[in-house]
Structure 1
């Protein structure tokens, strides 16, 4: 109980401490404010950059810096892990500037931001397998990069987007593999077979597809389906781990 009270008091102290430290951006000319934002961006001071860019965006919504401020905010939000704000800014910019010359970069950043939503600091730190996590952000990122390649095949970001799609495809395949493994552990043999075959159909060139054959064989064995077991064994010989 004492520990809970202490934790609560600490949380309140941090909350009020953050409120006291809230910074009000000075009312200076937009050129000065933008120069300060650029200096913060170049120095990697994302919080300071965001404060000044947001001030510019709200005080001068139709100013000379409008479009560049939003582009800079997209980048700063991404670097600062303000991912929801980043996506909202991307949607706003794309809606207002559908034919902008940097639309390929905006779409690329949308993919990166969705990818970042799948990231978890503690999982990275502890090297925890996260293949069973919700893959919706991964699907969104894959769609973003796929759209980039189709709309802007000659973009400077196309090659990197294509490489990231390979990693994303493996991530999605591993999620389905984790699901198939769950079904095997629950002795849901038909569900395991269906999921394993779906992996082989959708992601045939992945490690997960080859691993799914092991689960498929196990499920067929448990169901006493010897002919299917033998077919799976042949597939395993053709696709060794």
Structure 2
């Protein structure tokens, strides 16, 4: 009886070890098993991770599919999901690289409009400033090149796909970007004013009127022009700017 009990105990331990060993399989091993089943099994796992918000894992699996099955029936959808997964993991470089590759290889695909939209969104977020968001500090003076790139992305979307479901949102974002670009010009003009570079300041103000006349920066642009022309002794130009300011912004402190 004692020997039988010892035998049963040993077998129980062996069984437990085997069971635990099976449960400790790595994620890589599990993915390898899925890969052996084909692209669809891997894709189902990627979608499962996306659905639960694990976009890092999803991106890894989608990248594996893209590498192993580049011309399969799922290739287009894999690339589109990869764009979104990279975006959600705050990986703008990979997001943009995947977008550009998709557009280059599939210029006539129905979802090119989505790729253009995501390109604009990604560039907008690259231009965002964490310090400004957290502490409400205006940093309009930072380089706006990424905003310009985002504006161009949305412009391309609207021009090539005017009826796109993303068009309305893209237009709203373009208005926001225009105000961002106009604020940058105003900050540059004020910098010139502090340096008493009145001609340069006035030119920046006029530039805002010409190219960003539908933004909220028209009033400060006119005020900069009035002040700069006054310093330059250009009474006629000052008078014209002052008339426009009075007509549109009668509450301005520059109106006496």
Shorter chain as normaliser: what TM range?
0.7 to 0.9
C-alpha separation in 1, matches of 2:164 and 2:236: 50
CA shift for structure 1 position 136: 1.1
Aligned partner of 1:127 in structure 2 is: 136
Aligned partner of 2:57 in structure 1 is: 48
CA shift for structure 1 position 24: 4.1
Q: 3-state DSSP class of the match of 2:142? A: coil
* CA deviations over 1:140-190 (Å, ceiling 9, x no partner): 111111111111111111111111111111111111111111111111111
Aligned pair partner of 1:100 in 100, 106, 109: 109
Aligned partner of 2:22 in structure 1 is: none
CA shift for structure 1 position 100: 0.6
C-alpha separation in 2, matches of 1:122 and 1:74: 26
- Residue 200 (structure 2) pairs with residue 191 (structure 1): yes
C-alpha separation in 2, matches of 1:80 and 1:132: 28
Aligned partner of 1:234 in structure 2 is: 243
CA shift for structure 1 position 70: 0.6
CA shift for structure 1 position 64: 2.5
Q: What is the correspondence of 1:11-160 to structure 2 with a 5 Å cutoff?
A: 24=28, 26-27=31-32, 28=34, 29=37, 30-160=39-169
Structure with more relative contact order (C-alpha pairs < 8 Å, separation 6 or more):
1
Query: Hey, which bits of structure 1, 4+ residues long, moved more than 4 A?
Result: none
C-alpha separation in 1, matches of 2:28 and 2:245: 64
Q: Which sections of structure 2, spanning at least 5 residues, go unmatched? A: 1-26
C-alpha separation in 2, matches of 1:146 and 1:58: 32
* CA deviations over 1:9-53 (Å, ceiling 9, x no partner): xxxxxxxxxxxxxx7472123222211111111222111111111
Q: 3-state DSSP class of the match of 1:36? A: helix
Aligned partner of 2:7 in structure 1 is: none
C-alpha separation in 2, matches of 1:66 and 1:54: 11
CA shift for structure 1 position 135: 1.0
Q: 3-state DSSP class of the match of 1:207? A: coil
C-alpha separation in 2, matches of 1:101 and 1:225: 56
Q: Which sections of structure 1, spanning at least 5 residues, go unmatched? A: 1-22
Aligned partner of 1:13 in structure 2 is: none
Look at both structures and tell me which one has the larger radius of gyration over its CA atoms: 2
Q: TM-score scaled to structure 2, two decimals? A: 0.81
Q: 3-state DSSP class of the match of 2:217? A: helix
Aligned pair partner of 1:207 in 210, 216, 235: 216
Aligned Cα RMSD in Å? Answer: 1.7
